[in-house]
Structure formats: C-alpha cells, structure tokens
Amino acid sequence: MTKYDGTCDCGNVKVTAEIADPTSGIICHCGECKIRYGPYNVVFAVPENDYKVVSGADSLKTWSYTGASGNPVPCSFCSNCGVNLFRKEATLPGLTVVIASTLVKGWESGELRPTQSLLTHRALPWISEVGTFKQL
C-alpha cells in the first residue's frame, strides 16, 4: 500500500490516498467525464478509509449528476478553483472514486497509471490514434 498526496489546483484542499496497486487506474469514457475532463478521465476506486481530506474540507462543495445506474453521483470539488477531487457512487459502496490527476506527484511521474477501461463503447473514435499524432 502506497500513500499518495494530492491537491486541487489552488492548493486549498489537500488529500491523501492509499493505493494498493498503482496500476489499477481506470479510464472512464462516460459522457460526464468527457464534459469535465476532456476525452476521458482516469480514476482510482479506493476503500473509503484509504482516502482522506487532510485540510481544506471547508472549501469542498458537492454537486451530483445522474449516473448510468439512474442513481445520483455526488462529486466533491474545491469551491475556489473548481477542481473535482473525488466522488461517491451508489454502485460502488464503501469506495471513493479518486480523480487520478489530483494525486499530482504519483500521476505526473507515471507511477499511477490506468490498465483498465470503462464504457469503451462510448470512447471517442480517434482515441486509439493518439500515439500517431504529430508532435508539436
């Protein structure tokens, strides 16, 4: 189990996540993730007790969208910079869904990485071509 520190963009909210397998990230291709993060989002589902808001809890706000299951999906974000940090899903009881990019050092170093995909039937058709794009 490795502990990863995280933060929102402005630094108001600090978090920690203990992740057993740094290669257990999940690429989500749902429409909600595309709206918020781009063509997809990478998340880690961790046991609730392994994810903690260390500071800035008073800066967190929560909003919900209706998930594919029809249940609300509460998402917590920093009220100052707007960065989504985590969400709780009724379909994943006892787990916190952590936005991988908020675990900055582990994410940017490449240590944390996805090896699974979710809702691939909703992936944008050009995703598989990204590696062939011209470098700028």
Q: How many structural domains comprise the chain? A: 1
Cα–Cα distance between 82 and 113 in angstroms, integer?
23
Q: What are phi and psi of 33, to 5 degrees?
A: -65, -40
Q: Does pTM top 0.85 for this prediction?
A: yes
CA dihedral 109, 18, 27, 65 (to 10 degrees): -130
Q: Considering the domain boundaries, does residue 102 fall inside one?
A: yes
pLDDT tens digits, one per residue of 46-103: 999 999 999 999 999 999 988 878 899 999 999 999 999 999 988 899 999 999 999 9
Q: Which bin fits 34, alpha (ψ -120 to 50), beta or left (φ > 0)?
A: alpha
Q: Considering the domain boundaries, does residue 117 fall inside one?
A: yes
CATH number at residue 58: 2.170.150.70
Structural domain harbouring 45: 2-123
Q: Considering the domain boundaries, does residue 31 fall inside one?
A: yes
Q: Considering the domain boundaries, does residue 106 fall inside one?
A: yes
